[in-house]
Amino acid sequence: MTLSSRGGLLIGAAVGSGIAAQTAETGGADLLLAVNAGRMRNMGAPSIASMLPCHGATAMTDAFAAHEILPRVGIPVLLGVNCWDADFDADDVVRRVAEQGFAGAVNFPNATLMPRGMRQLLDRAGRGFRCEIDCLARVQAAGFTALYYCGTKEHARAAAEAGLDMVLLNFGWNAGGSLGHSRRASLEEVGLVARDYAALIRRLHPGVRILLEGGPVVSAEDLGHVAGVAALDGYVGGSTLDRLPYEESVVNRIASYRQAGDHHEHLTRQQETLLRWGQRHGLVGRAKPFRTFLEELEAVSGAGRSVAVTFEPGTPLRPVLSAIDRRGATAPQIDGAEDHGTRIAQRLFGRDLPSGYEDGLLTVPDGEAVVLRDIHLALPAAQRRLARSLASGILVTSRRRRRMKVTARCLFVFERSAQEPAFPAELHPELAALLSGWTVRVPPLRDRIADIPELIEALAERLDLPKGRVPSFTPGALQRLRRHAWPENEAELEALLGRIVGRAPEGEVSGNAVGRLLEAPDRSEEPPARGSEMERRRIVEALWRNDFHRGRTAAALHMSRKTLYNKMTRLGLSD
């Protein structure tokens, strides 16, 4: 049987239920693969469960393929064939395909997806990849379609020599989603390997059709990237066509229902005025913890005395300082972690000179705000002197004992998590007593999750993003943002926005995309890899692709075994 595409690549779907098959046909799939992995996904298990001894693969596949899929679709259906059954018989496979009306067969579950050691055991038992190729060759000889799952160069050569007309290059289980595997190979690596395998197969069997499945290829963009490197005839989607879209769809639908029931709390005129006051200083949000914070902030801003602010890492401090004091955002700063003791004392208290007194920040004539970061790291004597000067409003100079009026307003800031006490243990008790009751804690982002959409809009406006570049999120994506812990607070949200804008997404950003971006490490501040590090990564990836067989790895890297051994020893990979 000859399969035809509706245009462009031949698209197949590995399914496990009637609804998945019908939806795939409606979406334009050219063929279906009825395989037990699809059934396991429909049962809520990961695809890899299809390889485990937890059920009879043949009985399971035959049942749903014949009764759920064949009666409901009009496109070709390939039956998943398990060669590991105790009573497996290739001729019986041909008979089942013919009698039940399947278009052909595909080897699934298969040896390709097994670890190398298990593949060797299956080969020795006569149930490995050669048994699968022989079975599919008989199916093809009987006039049906045979699709061979291929994962190594040895398998590719054997399939081509057997004359199989369709070969599916598989690069492992799909990444992404709640049950997906982590990526171990990049799209570039998959493209290069696929190109090498395809060239080998076509050299031995020019009429073959080569399809791709699995690994890091999750989206249409991923497929286009790989297809640009390797000449492919088609693509088969498993998790990418049923599990991932289903997860995204259901999450979006439930999240949208939940949002439909989320009524904005009716705010009083006084609360609305408070929010506008915060917005003038760059403080955006409406959540209850944030409103409570704004109330406290407004109260201390009008007091005119020294106050303390505690915040978690990644929280923007400039708007808070601006709200407390109109000069706070641009006020001079003293950092207890960076300035040594003598410098802190001179900057704060000034010093006596033969010609007179040099004012410090506490006693400048016009008076101004002074931001003191982590002052608990300063010398205890300096902390005590500062506390007594602020409490009395008088600074007594150290030598001539002059009495100077304190004109500055001190804004103390401490980076503290919500689980820690407001003040560090090293803060002098007199300073702690002075600031007690006059401390404002900025709520972390995880306590005001409802403000995230508004914060994203404010970030986009502050960054002057064109309107067309401001991302919109699906309900599922917003739900994913709300579930995140945000350990780096607004700084992490801004970094996420940068990743999204940098990828120039079309349409709404999905929950799966948000999940991948939140988990992606930020390498912008990492130093560039040295030549030896890049070479080490290249060898490790090649070893992994070749099951750590050093001879095959050397051939893949186009070097001799001796050269590979020497490089591995030099790079610390010989053990």
The amino acid that residue 84 corresponds to is W
288 membership: H or E segment, kind and range: helix 288-301
Place of tokens 């970094």: 495
Task: Indicate the fold that domain 10-241 takes in CATH.
Answer: TIM Barrel (3.20.20)
Helix/strand/coil percent split, the chain, to 5? 50, 15, 40
The predicted model scores a pTM of: 0.57
Task: Check residue 491 and give its pLDDT.
Answer: 93
| 360: phi then psi, degrees, rounded to nearest 5 | -95, -175
Measured distance CA(452)–CA(449) in Å, rounded: 6
8 Å CB contact between 309 and 319:
no
State the pLDDT at residue 507: 67
Domain ranges in the chain are: 10-241, 304-437, 531-570
Contacts of 151 (CB under 8 A, 6+ apart): 112, 113, 169, 170, 171, 172
What is the per-residue pLDDT across 42-94, written as a single tens digit (0 to 9) for each?
777 766 766 666 677 888 888 899 999 999 999 999 999 998 888 899 999 99
Q: Assign residue 385 a region (left: φ > 0; alpha: ψ between -120 and 50; beta: otherwise).
A: alpha
Q: Across the strands, what pairs with 213?
A: 170
Contacts of 432 by beta carbon, 8 Å cutoff, 6+ apart: 423
Is domain 531-570 given the CATH code 1.10.10 in the classification? Answer: yes
Query: Which of these, 201, 171, 165, lies nearest to 186 by C-alpha position?
Result: 171
pLDDT score, position 180: 40
pLDDT, one tens digit per residue, over 41-55 is 877 776 676 666 667
Enter the CATH code of domain 304-437: 3.40.50.300
* Positions in the chain short of pLDDT 50: 175-184, 523-529
From CA 21, how far away is CA 190, in angstroms rounded?
Answer: 28
pLDDT at 441: 96
